Structure 1
Amino acid sequence: MPCNSYVLGVDIGTFSSKGVLVKLDGTVVASHSVPHDVKIPRLGFAEHDAERDWWGDFVKITRALLEKSQVDPGRILGVATSGIGPCVLPVDKEGHPLRPAILYGIDTRAFAEIEILMKMLGQERLLEGSGRKELTSQAAAPKILWIRRNEPDIFSKTRWFFTCHSYLIFKLTKRAVIDIYSAAGYAPMFNIFKCQWDPEIVQMMASQEVLPDLAWSYEVVGRVTRDASHETGLLEGTPVVAGTTDAAAEALSVGLNAVGDMMLMVGSSVFFILRTPVLMKSERFWVSNFVVPDFYTILGGMSTAGSITTWFRDNFGELELERQKTTGEDAFEQLAKLALKSSVGAKGLTVLPYFSGERTPFFDPTAKGVIFGLTLAHKKGDIYRAILESVAFGIKHNMDELIEEGAVPERIILAGGILKNELWTKIIADVCQREFEVPCQTIGASFGDAFLVALGVGHFKNISDVKEWAKIKGVVKPTTDEREIKIYEIKYQLFRQLYEQTKELMKKVHTLQEMLTISD
């Protein structure tokens, strides 16, 4: 292929979207990002406007990349997209959204539908098809059932149910496609061991006609239409590959490859992907095929991470935000300085980071955030540091449970917005007592999308070739200070006990909050 050819990747995130234009040697020639928000119309709901936040961002990004790079669109070999997922977006036969998109695990509205499906199927049936014993708010199928039960008019008009990047593929090509990795998020409608929709279970909620066609993430599934070309600036006929969910693309971007490799992405939430030698079954995590055949993974994630620090900044960081306006110093950097003035252990404060329920390893959509141990001696920096530590404890909890199931991380590569926060990365390494590799390229999932294009159009022959793009620049090492290690061990036990001793109270609080929300 000509050396002056390019591949393009675009990722749609929770609070922003990002795109990159990349040379075939992995050099990024242009990048662009666009912010957007998340709508929380009521307790437990989280939504995006698909036309504005997904397609609108995609159009802005592709046009910006072309303008910044001055690259001839004819030299772009293909495009791939990734996005938050699994999301649920019902569209009509023209592909027009019928309602706002229901987001991934941070949207916990389908609590009753999860219980209905669990009673209908049972743990063993679920395990046989999905490799897991429990359904959670991360699964898309209960949300489809929620639409059927709560919005029957919308359900009756639905031609397809899309996730984020499936919608973008349709806008680009007029084809309804979802990749194998992302289809696993439609549990229990998708059988991960057969790599196909389960017709019997699908019929319990919808019909198979409303589900997209299946493809591997690197496969070319269509070409840019004339209408999409006019909107995006891409050349009509440009190949479009199937793409994947953002976490999988992020894992590619940092070089996930060998068995035992684990990508730990810490952004607005936490997600990790660990390559396993076989397709496992799990009681505490999700399991899935990856973006190519014969590549197996175990997955997990926390509902909240950076979203809590954003919440704290927006509600308690007025001074820092005002100083950011006048001096330009980032509010998060100011809060990090306050956290540094606190001590290891945050003066005894323990936080539970379950501000949107929790996903792995215990799947509790009613879990709540807790700040425990407050005294009049505590300051803003202590609380902020305790929040950072709480996410680290949640990550350690997941790692401990992974190892107990026999899935042992051998090499851990960090990804996500946390790479901009040295204090937080150090806290996680210290709490987990593990080394974490830091990649050279920190752009994220859109870089992984670009690699999928290069693989799909034949520039690369194997997924292991990702090592040519993904380089490591350093390692975050854990503390060896015995006092600090002991403090974190004590706090970790408090962290674990605090949830166990309050989870029944959390259910009561959840019921009260729902009652108050309805009455409001």
Structure 2
Amino acid sequence: MSKYVIGIDFGTNSCRSLIVDVANGNELATHVFEYPSGKNGVIIDSKNPHLARQNPNDYIKGIEATVKGALRKAKSARKSFKNSDVIGIGIDTTGSSPMPVDEKGQPLCFDRRFRKNPAAMVWLWKDHTSFAEAEQITQLASEIRPQYLSKIGGVYSSEWWWSKILHCKNSAPDVFNAAYSWVEICDWITASLTGELSPQKIKRSICAAGHKAMFNNQWNGLPDKEFLERLSPGLGDLRDRLYSEAFTSENVAGYLSENWAKKLGLSTDVAIAVGAFDAHMGAIGAGIKIGSLVKIVGTSTCDIMIHPETEKLSDVPGVCGIVNGSVRNGFFGIEAGQSGVGDIFLWFVNNLVPDSYGKTAVEKFKNLEKSASKLKAGESGLLALDWNNGNRTILVDVRLTGLLVGQTLHTQPHEIYRALLEATGFGALAIIDRLEEYGVDVKEVINCGGLAVKNSLLMQIYADIIGRPMKISKSEQTPALGAGIFAAVAAGKKAGGYDSIDEAQKVMTGIGKVYQPNQKNHEVYKKLYKLYKQLHDAFGTKEWSGKMYNVMKDLLSIRNEVLNKL
């Protein structure tokens, strides 16, 4: 008799539930729920472009809508399917997306006093309001606790836990003072399903704690009270109301509460795995192994690798963290990424592409890709920096902005579109170069996520720029699949699941399409990448000194070389 798991993926604009057959990884059914609050699910502020918050009630609605919807579809897809055969649920979310809660673990925005206060909501991963606090944390840590920075790439980010909490303390003291504790949404959603929401009893994710909250057992967990008090008087007291232990996602967070079991039509025997971030669970769903670089390509991109905990691993400047157990037990998880990828393309289409390419965004994307695919590498004479939403890796600077060089009176929108695609490819190569510079060997690149599946031109450009095959995960929903795999391991073999990630991955994951690099394009892109790095270092680092007189001329020369060969 088949057993099934449910992976629930909470993204930036929507959430989805995926029902997977544990025996073979077949994806039986999926259901998507668009968050109803704000603009495309995000609470924004027209006066502050850095602000991005979320309503946690959307998650509660999303669980019920997506799980029930997927269960209905599963019954239609397979007559033998029964709700009672579901053995586990796994949760992945964006992050760092922390939220202030009261003593019972309820979001402060559920309190009438703070119902419409964005500071009492979820501080979404792409909220950059705390850039000043991030700089303050980096400065103090470099002076008195340099070890805190050594495992997170040397710079603390405005996208992370402590920056956001400190900014709340500075900008909304009424919310900060009313908050008993703070919880990452990957932990809060998981706790909600188990019914145990007490902040001190929630099983916290080592993925979230290690990568975003500077948690490390080498210094007894979270940053010490003295450091936090030096950062801001009164912040140290919060430490006692947070947590002292964090867990890998193979662990059971608890079992489905009676309330949720009744609401969803499932058993209270359903195991709930400890939650984690979407990229890290996506890496498991993509079949990550030693030497694999998994790229989760969507609105932004997150790059994940693993390294055995028993082998030496150097600190890598500019990465988003090296955390033992953040991807799976027994391995260091290495995280890097790009703050804007799909969001850059969408911004361009929504704001700058004329209606001659189509009346809708879908039509515009289709026609842009069609025209851009006819261009040769270097033919446009354009070069862009992919920093429209800042730079996550390797510069870790949210105050960097996008740049386009080489425009003429003849430049066409599809040429700019291709230049933006190429810019994200150059950014991806910069990350690979940094990893390998510090001894992390990249043997293969596996791509997953919406853009990896839907945008063939992007994947071919990546292959040509990086000079390696771009493998595409068999599953189009790898974060949800990864969450399902952890659910199968949390449930265990006795319940019909697995006792290890290795066992589950062998039967539940695989590779689909592979894009091979075009060597002629690669040679051109090597010339363009040299110019990209020149711009990258000139605009992105304090240390750079030199001239950029050559950049525009070199772009024209490359363009002429390409056109003469046509």
Residues 223 and 236 in structure 1, CA contact (< 8 A), matched pair in contact too: yes
Equivalent residue runs for 1:446-461 within 5 Å = 446-458=480-492, 459-461=497-499
The equivalent residue for 2:411 is 378
Mapping of residues 69-80 of structure 1, within 5 Å? 69-70=74-75, 71-80=81-90
Deviations 1:30-80 (A, max 9, x none): 11122342333212222222211x222222111101111134332211111
Q: Deviations over 1:240-262 (max 9, x none)?
A: 110211001100011012x2122
Distance 1:198 1:502, change over 3 A: closer
Given the alignment, which residue of 45, 61, 67 partners 2:66?
Answer: 61
430, 445, 451: which one aligns with 2:479: 445
Equivalent in the alignment of 2:322: 287
Once the 2 structures are TM-superposed, how far is the Cα of residue 373 of structure 1 from its aligned partner?
1.4
Do structure 1's residue 116 and structure 2's residue 128 form an aligned pair?
no
* Shift, 1:319, TM fit: 2.7
Q: Does 1:44 align with 2:78?
A: no
- 1:227-376 matches, within 5 Å, as 227-257=259-289, 259-277=290-308, 278=311, 279-285=313-319, 286-289=321-324, 290-317=326-353, 319=355, 323-324=359-360, 330-345=363-378, 347-376=380-409
The one of 437, 442, 445 aligned to 1:409: 442
1:172 partner amino acid: L
Q: 1:321 to 1:250 in 2, by over 3 A?
A: farther
Partner residue, 2:225 = 200
Q: Deviations over 1:302-323 (max 9, x none)?
A: 1000011111122234637854
CA separation in 1, counterparts of 2:61 and 2:534? 45
1:231 CA drift (Å): 4.0
Q: Tell me by how many angstroms 1:334 deviates.
A: 2.3
Counterpart pick for 2:171 among 145, 150, 159: 150
- Equivalent of 2:253 in 188, 201, 221: 221
**Closer, same or farther: CA 350–291 of 1 in aligned 2, 3 Å:** closer
- Find 1:426's aligned residue among 445, 460, 481: 460
- Report the Cα distance in structure 2 between the residues aligned to 1:492 and 1:291, rounded to whole angstroms: 31
Does residue 1:494 correspond to 2:531, yes or no?
A: yes
In structure 2, the partner of 1:183 is: 209
Shift of 1:296: 1.1
* Larger Cα-atom Rg: 2
Alpha carbons 1:129, 1:193 under 8 Å: kept:
no
TM-superposed CA distance for 1:461, in Å, is 2.1
Contact 2:213 / 2:222 at 8 angstroms: preserved in 1? no
- The residue number in structure 1 matching 2:14 is 16
Scaled by the length of structure 1, the TM-score of the pair is 0.89
Q: Secondary structure of the equivalent of 1:348?
A: coil
**Is the 1:90–1:97 Cα contact (8 Å) retained in structure 2?**
yes
Find the aligned partners of 1:227 and 1:199 in 2 and give their Cα distance.
38
- Which residue of 2 is the match for residue 136 of structure 1? 157
User: Any idea what the Cα deviations from partners look like across 1:209-246, whole Å, max 9, x if unmatched?
Assistant: 43255222121111222333344443345321102110
Aligned partner of 1:164: which letter?
A: I
Q: What is aligned with 2:102?
A: 92
Secondary structure of the residue aligned to 2:393 is coil
CA drift at 1:293: 2.7
Cα distance between partner residues in 2 of 1:129 and 1:231: 44
Contact 1:160/1:209 (8 A) holds in 2: no
SS in structure 1 at match of 2:282: helix
**Kept in 2: contact 1:304–1:353 (CA 8 A):** yes
**Cα displacement (A) at 1:10:** 0.2
Say which SS state the counterpart of residue 357 (structure 1) adopts.
coil
In structure 2, the residue corresponding to 1:77 is in which secondary structure? strand
Q: Offset at 1:291?
A: 3.7
Give the aligned partner of residue 473 of structure 1.
512
Give per-residue Cα distances to partners, 1:427-486, cap 9 Å, x unaligned.
0010011122222222220000110011111122222221221112342211121xx333
For residues 316 and 147 of structure 1, do their structure 2 counterparts lie closer, same or farther at Cα, with a shift above 3 Å needed? same
Amino acid at match of 1:181: C
> 2: CA distance between counterparts of 1:415 and 1:320?
31
CA contact under 8 A between 1:280 and 1:298: conserved in structure 2?
no
Cα–Cα, structure 1 residues 64 and 123, in superposed 2: closer, same or farther, change >3 Å?
farther
In the aligned structure 2, how far is the partner of 1:270 from the partner of 1:79? 25
Alignment partner, residue 509 of structure 1: none
Q: Kindly tell me: are residues 492 and 294 of structure 1, through their superposed partners in 2, closer, same or farther at Cα, counting changes over 3 Å?
A: same
Structure 2 equivalent of residue 462 of structure 1: 500
Classify 1:195/1:296 alpha carbon distance in 2 versus 1 (closer, same or farther; 3 Å).
Answer: farther
CA distance in 1, matches of 2:348, 2:364: 11
Asked whether the 8 Å contact 2:133–2:158 carries over to 1, the reply is no
Q: What secondary structure sits across from 1:382 in the alignment? A: helix
Q: Counterpart of 1:445 in structure 2: which amino acid?
A: P
What letter is aligned with 2:31? Answer: H
Structure 2: distance between partners of 1:380 and 1:330: 14
* Residue 93 (structure 1) shift: 2.6
Change (3 A) 1:126 1:56: farther
The Cα of 1:331 is off from its aligned counterpart by 3.9
Q: C-alpha distance in 1, partners of 2:413/2:246?
A: 49
Give 1:113 shift: 1.1
Q: 1:203: Cα distance to partner?
A: 4.8
1:270-317 deviation digits (Å, cap 9, x = unpaired): 111112234542222121123433211221001000011111122234
Unpaired stretches in structure 2, ≥5 consecutive residues: 76-80, 109-119, 230-234, 543-566
Displacement after TM superposition at 1:195 (Å): 7.6
Alpha-carbon distance in 2 for matches of 1:66, 1:412: 34
Deviations 1:131-168 (A, max 9, x none): 13221223211111111121111112213312222121
The Cα of 1:266 is off from its aligned counterpart by 1.2
| Partner residue, 2:188 | 167
Residues of 1 paired with 2:486 and 2:419: CA distance? 39
- Answer whether contact 2:453 2:476 (CA < 8 A) is retained: yes
How far apart, CA to CA, are the structure 2 residues paired with 1:475 and 1:51?
Answer: 40
